[in-house]
Amino acid sequence: MTKVKLWTRNFMALVWANGLLFAGFHFLLPTLPLYAASIGATGTEIGIITGIFGFSAIFIRLFTDTGVRKFGKKKCLYFGLFCSFLATFSYDIFTSVYSLILARILHGIGFGLSTTFAAALVADVIPAQRRGEGIGYFGLGSTVAMAVAPALGVMLLTDFSANILFLTSMVVTLLSAVSAKLCNAKEAPLPAEKKSISIRHKICEYGTGIPSILTVLFGAAYGSVNTFVAMMANEAGIENAGLFFIVGTIFVFISRPFGGRIFDSKGGFWVILPGGILYLIGLCILISSSSLTMLLVASVFYGLGGGLLLPSLMTWMLNVVTPDRRSGASATFYNMLDIGTSSGIILLGSVAGSIGYVNMYFYVIAVMVIFIVFFLFNHFVLQKNKVKENTL
Cα 250 vs. chain centroid, distance in angstroms? 17
Q: Which domains does the chain have, with CATH numbers?
A: 7-185 (1.20.1250.20), 201-392 (1.20.1250.20)
Model pLDDT, residue 363 = 95
Higher per-residue pLDDT: 190 or 18 = 18
Most trustworthy range by pLDDT among 90-104, 140-154, 283-297: 283-297
Long-range contacts of 266-271, Cβ-Cβ distance < 8 Å, separation of 24 or more: 268/312, 268/315, 268/316, 269/379, 271/132, 271/308, 271/309, 271/312
Helices marked H in 320-382: 326-355, 357-377
Percent of the chain with pLDDT over 90: 43
Asked whether residue 389 carries a pLDDT value surpassing 60, the answer given is: no
Model pLDDT, residue 353 = 77
Model pLDDT, residue 338 = 85
Residues 170-229 have pLDDT tens digits of 999 999 999 999 998 777 676 655 666 777 777 788 889 999 999 999 999 988 887 778
Q: For residues 176-197, b (16+ Cβ closer than 10 Å) or e, as one string?
A: bbebbeebebebbebeeeeeee
Cα 366 vs. chain centroid, distance in angstroms? 22
- DSSP code, position 129: G
Residue 386's pLDDT band (boundaries 50, 70, 90)? low
Residues 329-348 have pLDDT tens digits of 888 998 899 888 878 877 88
Model pLDDT, residue 390 = 42
**Average pLDDT for residues 279-287, to the nearest whole number?**
96
Residue 69's pLDDT band (boundaries 50, 70, 90)? confident
